Chains A and B, each alone.
Chain A
């Protein structure tokens, strides 16, 4: 099992911040998620610990008990050093439909101009690549996706919009992603995904987890409408592929 020089520091009264070298890398992300599994396994008396992974950090939050920092740090380091390869959490590749019609892709023409690519090529590049979920935050169900190809890097809009529609698929800098709800935002909008990424009525409100992968595929307007209805009535079948550990 790979091992990194990790640091463990207190973060306020209720949390501990565990940090890996500050680079965007799948092997670091998977090490974080494996360690996270080991913590769940080894610290069974701390079932209420919340673990928030993101890029190169894992934040452990204990809202009930005052953390004995030096003792917990020691135990965490032992756990990191001695962990055996356990069965890691299953990861999935989710295939999400996106309608890139100009009605939804309100910045698609501008993006194609900025990138000096035809609209078809922008869509082809955007759907060709597979993105890794490095974090979920900012809004409930908002995924930080890594792996955007260099030729799709687009500057953020100079003036953010006051309202970006739910489901909007955007490009900004090195990132692409989906707005899980109506929200203000400065990303370039190139399409819309009819699948809800967050549903507060479900026990697991967001089917995606950090470490999963996302690939988009283009749908026409009729399929978009169908998937939207299927999502609303709860009969949409998510297209997912199990990833090998």
Chain B
């Protein structure tokens, strides 16, 4: 078991996602940067569906109540074990009573903590991913006890991986979305020549962009949306749906992010810049 001493800014448990319920309006959920979370799981030779902890902006303080092995990937948040710095992208052993804390955010926005065997919080609709009201809470709370397996011996096949300079990327690869053709030439020029700024309104549901690219009055019937769908509001605002995004929507879906670009965007925060680069099927 792992005890939460401080929860951090917004810390959740996420796995590969909640699938099979989109026709009932249930978002997919799962790790925002699934590229980083899967590296954490593979270092521990976990299953790719095992749940990890997703840590946003500022990290929690956690006490191990059992011996375990862990790995940290994604955003660099200066983690320490009993006050001693630990490297990310490496397997570490934790003994009962060890305290894992986080410090300054150096780069990225979301860090992943995986433990050997995964976090064993309650399974709801075939997934452990936090999403209220399907799970009881949205994020971990002070005093919460999170079940983990006890492991005393583990010799990893790969004990550390090189971290990719993934957070430095700012170019998002985009396919044409279903309503791409509503773009005017002026809008297309703005879209592919300009930098866009991540707005304050960014979370697991969606990232809004600050710059407007021109109003439209296109009306459509509600249709499915996916993680990575870029919607254009009538006022000309771009909204990029993320893992907790709604499953249907009525705004035109002008672009669709490549899967890897969703993970890149998940490491961006308020004020960061991104660009769009068109790709074809």
- Please list the residues of chain A having a beta carbon within 8 angstroms of any beta carbon in chain B: 9-15, 17, 19, 22, 24, 48, 50-57, 59, 61, 63, 69, 134-142, 144, 180-181, 198, 200-201, 205-206, 209-210
Contacts and interface: CB of A to CB of B under 8 A. Distances in A.
A48 B228 CA distance: 20
A22 B25 contact: no
Of B26, B229, B257, the most chain A CB neighbours within 10 A belong to B26
A177 to B, nearest CB: 12
Interface stretch (B138-146, B162-170, B218-226): B218-226
A69 B17 CA distance: 24
B25 A139 contact: yes
A51 B136 CA distance: 27
Please classify the interface of chain A as helix (H, G, I), strand (E, B), loop, or mixed, using the class held by over half of its residues. Answer: loop
B17 to A, nearest CB: 8
Contacts of A135: 222, 248
Nearest to A70: B281
12 contacts: A14-B259, A15-B226, A50-B20, A50-B22, A59-B223, A63-B17, A134-B222, A138-B248, A140-B24, A140-B133, A144-B222, A200-B124
Given A12-B226, A15-B226, A22-B220, A205 B21 contact: yes
B14 interface: no
Given A14-B259, A22-B221, A138-B248, A181 B133 contact: yes
B223 A57 contact: yes
B22 A61 contact: yes
Contact of A9 (B178, B222, B257): B178
Given A52-B224, A137-B248, A12 B256 contact: yes
Contacts, number: 116
A101 B76 CA distance: 55
A56 B248 CA distance: 12
A205 B125 contact: yes
B25 A55 contact: no
Given A13-B258, A56-B221, A57-B224, A138 B25 contact: yes
Contacts of A136: 23-25, 248
B123 to A, nearest CB: 11
Interface in B120-140: 124-125, 133-135
A24 B125 CA distance: 31
A14 B133 CA distance: 27
